[in-house]
Amino acid sequence: MIRFSVLILCLLLCVGCGPQQVTVERGQSTPPHIELQPPVTIESYVRRGEPFESTYTAVPERVVAMWQNSIETIIALGEGDRIVAGMGIPNRKYVRPEYREAYDKIPYKDMQYFNLESVLMMKPDLLVGWRSTFTNKGLRPPAFWKPRNANVYIAESSLGAQSALTMDMEYKYIRDLGRIFHRNVEAERLISDMQQSVNYTVAQTAHEKPPKALFVELEGKNFRLYGHKTLAGNIGDTLHADVIDTDTPSISMEDVVEQNPDVIFLIVSDGEYSQADTIMNYVLQQPALQGVNALRNKRVYFLPLLAVYSPGIRLSDGIDIVSHGLYPNLYPEGVPDLIH
């Protein structure tokens, strides 16, 4: 078995969230070389309205994956051994249990952003991430990597909110990675499982009154609103919820009282997991909200951002949490908890 080691000299010890240069010295088995015949061409976007194409003549063997959607989706497709570095998972406990063994085998893992020099020394042939990853101040645009024999794939749902974010975007993301890694069958199975879950919920609740649902993230004394054009709202709409939306990106406590939602999904980002209970208690103890149906009936639930922002395979968690929260009679086991 061919083995290799990656050695990166640590020149900068970084505390915080900026790019860092790191030392990595690990052994990892080289995955099998698989030619793609015919070659696979994938369209991605530098930014909305600016597409670019990447052609793959072989399955990538040295992948740098940024953010949880990339890492876990590649693992779900059965190709975790091709990841040489993974960034953006705050703690191993937030990785799905069935993916943890493959995650542990990734040679380099960190929450912090990779330094460009470090990534160059890893000699990747594929980098997968968000639009914010591939900027002139970050890991550079796709054009930088092309002459270095490395392709770039950018998740469409990370491009910004100029157009609606949908579950179909996430299905395309999984399908594209399936084509890149020659795992088409596995990709279609993952997508089908999610679609069947949605179809089951819709069929079983077809004659119920749509529950009034509010998707929000706490911002100071108000809430950031996730409406119809967000993925959270799209999941709610697809599951026949009456999703609360306004013309503004935020909603006040007073407006929440006026809207009187039946269920509230409280979105928390990975940086807030340790304060999640504090955030929940703050909302539940607001005097102005005590008459709101969702609080009176104890139907305020956590919805991790990883399940509703460019989630890839974790879209299935978004679907499960929203389905269970909207329809407790159909799902008496309760809402899945991904945070505790």
Q: List, as one string, the DSSP characters of 143-154.
A: HHHGGGT-EEEE
> Is residue 130 in a domain?
yes
Is residue 177 a contact partner of residue 303, using CB atoms and an 8 Å limit? no
Q: Which domain holds residue 45?
A: 32-154
For residues 80, 74, 335, 193, the Cα torsion angle rounded to the nearest 10 degrees is -120
Q: Within this chain, do residues 213 and 101 fall inside the same structural domain, yes or no?
A: no
> Taking every pair of C-alpha atoms in the chain, what is the biggest distance, in angstroms?
66
Is residue 122 a contact partner of residue 85, using CB atoms and an 8 Å limit? yes
> Is residue 232 in a domain?
yes
Q: Within this chain, do residues 310 and 221 fall inside the same structural domain, yes or no?
A: yes
**What is the residue-level pLDDT of the chain in tens, covering all 340 positions?**
333 333 333 323 333 344 544 444 444 567 899 999 999 999 998 877 788 999 999 999 999 999 999 999 999 999 999 999 999 898 899 999 999 999 999 999 987 777 899 999 999 999 999 998 898 988 999 999 999 999 999 999 888 766 789 999 999 999 999 999 999 999 999 999 999 999 999 999 999 999 999 999 999 889 999 999 999 999 999 999 999 999 889 999 999 999 999 999 999 988 888 899 999 999 999 999 999 999 999 999 999 999 999 999 999 999 999 999 999 999 999 999 998 8
> Is residue 106 in a domain?
yes
Q: Within this chain, do residues 285 and 211 fall inside the same structural domain, yes or no?
A: yes
Q: Within this chain, do residues 143 and 218 fall inside the same structural domain, yes or no?
A: no
Q: Of the residues 133, 154, 175, which one is the last residue of a structural domain? A: 154
Report pTM: 0.89
Q: Which of 119, 88, 86, 90 is nearest to 103 (CA)?
A: 86
Rounded distance between C-alpha atoms, residue 311 and residue 268, angstroms: 14
- For residue 237, the number of C-alpha atoms closer than 13 Å in the C-beta half-sphere is 15
Res 149: pLDDT: 95
Q: Which of 323, 318, 335, 214 is nearest to 264 (CA)?
A: 214
> Is residue 166 in a domain?
no
Q: Within this chain, do residues 226 and 123 fall inside the same structural domain, yes or no?
A: no
Q: Within this chain, do residues 141 and 248 fall inside the same structural domain, yes or no?
A: no
Tokens of 66: 């940024």
> Is residue 338 in a domain?
no
Res 292: pLDDT: 98
Q: Within this chain, do residues 150 and 36 fall inside the same structural domain, yes or no?
A: yes
Q: Of the residues 132, 154, 176, which one is the last residue of a structural domain? A: 154
> Is residue 194 in a domain?
no
Q: Within this chain, do residues 150 and 221 fall inside the same structural domain, yes or no?
A: no
Q: Within this chain, do residues 103 and 211 fall inside the same structural domain, yes or no?
A: no
User: Phi and psi at residue 226, in whole multiples of 5°?
Assistant: -105, 100
3-state secondary structure (DSSP) of residue 273: helix
Is the C-alpha dihedral spanning 329, 330, 334, 338 positive or negative? negative
Res 162: pLDDT: 62
Total domains, the chain = 2
User: Could you give the residue ranges of the DSSP H alpha helices within the chain?
Assistant: 68-76, 100-104, 116-122, 142-145, 167-180, 184-204, 231-238, 253-259, 276-284, 293-296, 315-326
Q: Within this chain, do residues 219 and 320 fall inside the same structural domain, yes or no?
A: yes
Q: Of the residues 154, 189, 218, which one is the last residue of a structural domain? A: 154
> Is residue 192 in a domain?
no
The CATH number that applies at residue 223 is: 3.40.50.1980
Res 304: pLDDT: 95
Q: Within this chain, do residues 230 and 142 fall inside the same structural domain, yes or no?
A: no
Res 15: pLDDT: 33
Res 119: pLDDT: 93
> Is residue 27 in a domain?
no
